[in-house]
A and B are shown apart, each in its own frame.
Chain A
Amino acid sequence: MSKPEKKMHEPLIHLVKRDAIPWYQAWAVRIIAVLAALIFSGIITIILTGLNPLEVYQKMFEGAFGTDRRIWNLFQNVAILLCISLAVTPAFKMRFWNIGAEGQVLIGGLASTACMILLGNKLSQPVLLLVIVVTSIAAGAVWALLPAIFKAYWNTNETLFTLMMNYIAIQLVSYFVFVWSVPKGSGKIGIINGDTQAGWLPVLGDQKYLLNILIVLVITIAMYVYLRFSKQGYEISVVGESENTARYIGINVKKVVIRTMLISGAICGLAGMLLVSGTDHSITRDTAGGRGFTAIMVSWLAKFNPLYMVLTAFLIVFLEKGASEISTAFRLNDSFSEIITGIIIFFIIGSEFFINYAIRFRKIRKGGKAQ
């Protein structure tokens, strides 16, 4: 019996989703990705600037750690970015795409600003600080609550909703910056209560940023504990993994969505407070500075684990600071850091593929069986 030749339509490369690979392999893949990204950005640097990449990296290091002031500055920036990343994390774990952190931070900052300006000379410092903390947390929470309610009850697309809320917050800030501008009509608020320091977060020791850093440190641990050890954190994981299972064990999914977004927004609001009351003592529409978006990447790169997030936040800020040092040192411009950051993130995002999928090459089949 002669068999007709079997045509194979199978493609040469075949993708399969793979089982979890051991954590060390996964991290090896990620580290390789970062190294590859550094090499690649090194090449880009040479092409664009003709500089020796090793020298460039050395400068980067100096930029980040060169002086005491720089180190504190670096840690302050890490702290704020980390705080926002922690804020978006519970939402993401629940598969709720809160990309409205930028707005939630700003609105929290705006609330702080309002308290500082309007109540600055009416309340005693401790009471004022308390009011600031409460209102900014509440403001951030409300900003997150709106999209959460619509998501829970009408399944309104949260990505787009939270995205739009950012710009409403930005415009609100712009509005109030004009309303409160000093001098009138200048369009700038300047340092608020520069003379009385009312509503400024206290300076611990003689380090301006130390309190900020400590607060974020506490939030980091609290968030880790919350997600890992609390009942609510457990509910978040279950809802994120499978709404069906959540229903099966009697979790009220709507309630969890709303509660989690409240937490997410509240921490964003607190981050806004740290920025305004604890760092800048002023506000502009750029106060959040895109950190709300960067935080999404930080959280995602850390696989939503608050402890890893310390590392990823650090990595991103290090890159930014380092790259901006390169710009000054080699007379490039500031934006070089964003290019480098972008490239490195692309590499890490891409590397996840190799963790989740295996590539199988089609086996070369032997010819017909009866020859």
Chain B
Amino acid sequence: MITAFIQRAVMQGIPLLYGSTGEIITEKSGHLNLGIPGIMYVGGISGVIGAFAYENACTSAGHGMNGALAILIPFLSCLLGSLLMGLIYCFLTVTLRANQNVTGLALTTFGVGFGNFFGGSLIKLTGSELPSITLTKTSDFFRTSLPFAKNLGWFGQVFLSYGFLAYLAVAISIAAAIFLSRTRKGLHLRAVGENPATADAAGINVERYKYLSTCIGSMIAGLGGLYYVMDYANGIWSNDAFGDRGWLAIALVIFAVWKPGIAILGSFLFGGLYIVHNYIPNLDFSKQELFKMAPYLVTILVLVIISMRKKRENQPPQHLGLNYFREER
């Protein structure tokens, strides 16, 4: 049962990991993107649209689905959808210097609306009885895991049983961690979020870094939505099923004190906390809800502790939430 729990915890954690890695990269540039829940949602529905189009095209043409295309089309449409969302946010907050909180919240409203609109429309198109779209075929491609994983007992189940997007999430987080701590561009990005005036004086193109980090961050977060439908939910999209995972991803950013490496473990922990109630015997429904509170409580605790300890390395980027205008200084 433990192995099953770990496996489910990881699968719960992966969307959060995508979301928080994307948000960490964004926040490192000094932009608090509260649109992440919307972006993840759009990432999911964009993937669904792509998959839906391809599945239908194949069905109507009467031939089987090409594995590579079945993955690539949803993948790219997910990236495109979340990139567009990121661009809206950037344009408003970086170029037009709009309030980040308001823009982010509006983006989430918009993103969820966008997702539900297209989700609803697709459901109507399929004429299905249930309020959901089922893309099992595409999902099967996404969920393909190593064939020999089953033969490796608990080891296979805990480490090798996931679809490729799960490994990609971990890989991206590790890459992000290395990028932020070991590369020149990462250094520059951190400088932009900490002290844009200094970065500007050092000849760093502040706006470019803000745009790139927000857009790339959005695309990464969008993949979280894609993983959720295609892998976790077995290719079944129903409106609002994504729940509060987007906000949980933002909580994870704080929990991980803005470090993608910690976010990997944190995401599994959060994933575990999210489902742990299913594994505690004789727990009634009401207590389950209390357990779901745990990730948020833990996050507040972390937030309070880091602000009380005032350890500089663990603080949010100094310029988080503030827009930069060179001539203001």
Contacts and interface: CB of A to CB of B under 8 A. Distances in A.
Q: Do chains A and B touch in the complex (CB under 8 A)?
A: yes
A160 B303 contact: yes
A166 B300 CA distance: 11
B113 A338 contact: yes
17 contacts: A99-B101, A157-B316, A159-B32, A160-B303, A168-B297, A177-B289, A178-B286, A293-B105, A293-B108, A300-B102, A333-B116, A333-B124, A335-B119, A342-B106, A345-B110, A349-B98, A349-B106
B122 to A, nearest CB: 10
Given A157-B316, A171-B293, A333 B120 contact: yes
A339 B307 contact: no
Contact of B98 (A174, A338, A352): A352
A156 B102 contact: no
Contact of B105 (A296, A343, A356): A296
Given A338-B117, A345-B109, 8 more contacts: A156-B304, A159-B321, A171-B292, A297-B106, A332-B120, A334-B116, A341-B110, A349-B92
Interface of A: 15-17, 97, 99, 150, 154-157, 159-161, 163-168, 170-172, 174-179, 185, 187, 290, 293-294, 296-297, 300, 331-339, 341-343, 345-346, 349-350, 352-353, 356-357
Contact of A297 (B105, B116, B290, B304): B105
A179 B289 CA distance: 10
Contacts of A174: 289, 292
Nearest to B93: A349
Contacts of B316: 157, 160
B244 interface: yes
Contacts of A16: 327
Contacts of B251: 163-164, 167
A345 B112 CA distance: 15
A15 B113 CA distance: 34
Contacts of B116: 333-335, 338
B106 A345 contact: yes
B151 to A, nearest CB: 40
Select the residue from A171, A353, A357 with max chain B CB neighbours within 10 A.
A171
A343 B248 CA distance: 25
B86 to A, nearest CB: 14
B325 interface: yes
Contacts of A154: 304, 307-308
B107 interface: yes
B292 A346 contact: no
A104 to B, nearest CB: 15
B300 A165 contact: yes
B161 interface: no
* Chain A binding surface SS class: helix
Contacts, number: 170
Contacts of B299: 160, 164
A368 B87 CA distance: 42
Contact of A187 (B115, B248, B285): B285
Interface residues of B, number: 58
Interface in B114-130: 114-117, 119-121, 124
A167 B303 contact: no
B26 to A, nearest CB: 14
B71 interface: no
A300 B285 contact: no
Contacts of B110: 338-339, 341-343, 345-346
B99 interface: yes
B2 interface: no
A338 B303 contact: no
Contacts of A177: 289
B98 A339 contact: no
B107 A342 contact: yes
Contacts of A179: 286
Select the residue from B250, B284, B300, B304 with max chain A CB neighbours within 10 A.
B300
B109 A293 contact: yes
Contact of A178 (B99, B284, B320): B284
B103 interface: yes
Given A171-B293, A342-B109, A332 B121 contact: yes
B76 interface: no
Contact of B117 (A166, A167, A339, A357): A339
Contact of A156 (B248, B286, B289, B303): B303
B242 interface: no
Contacts of A293: 105, 108-109
Given A15-B325, A185-B285, A290 B297 contact: no
Nearest to A290: B109
Contact of A163 (B115, B120, B247): B247
Nearest to B38: A342
Interface string B255-280: 00000000000000000000000000
Contacts of A167: 244, 247-248, 251, 293, 296
B328 to A, nearest CB: 7
B201 interface: no
Interface string B282-319: 00111101101100110110011001100000001000
Nearest to A352: B98
B244 A170 contact: yes
B68 interface: no
B135 to A, nearest CB: 19
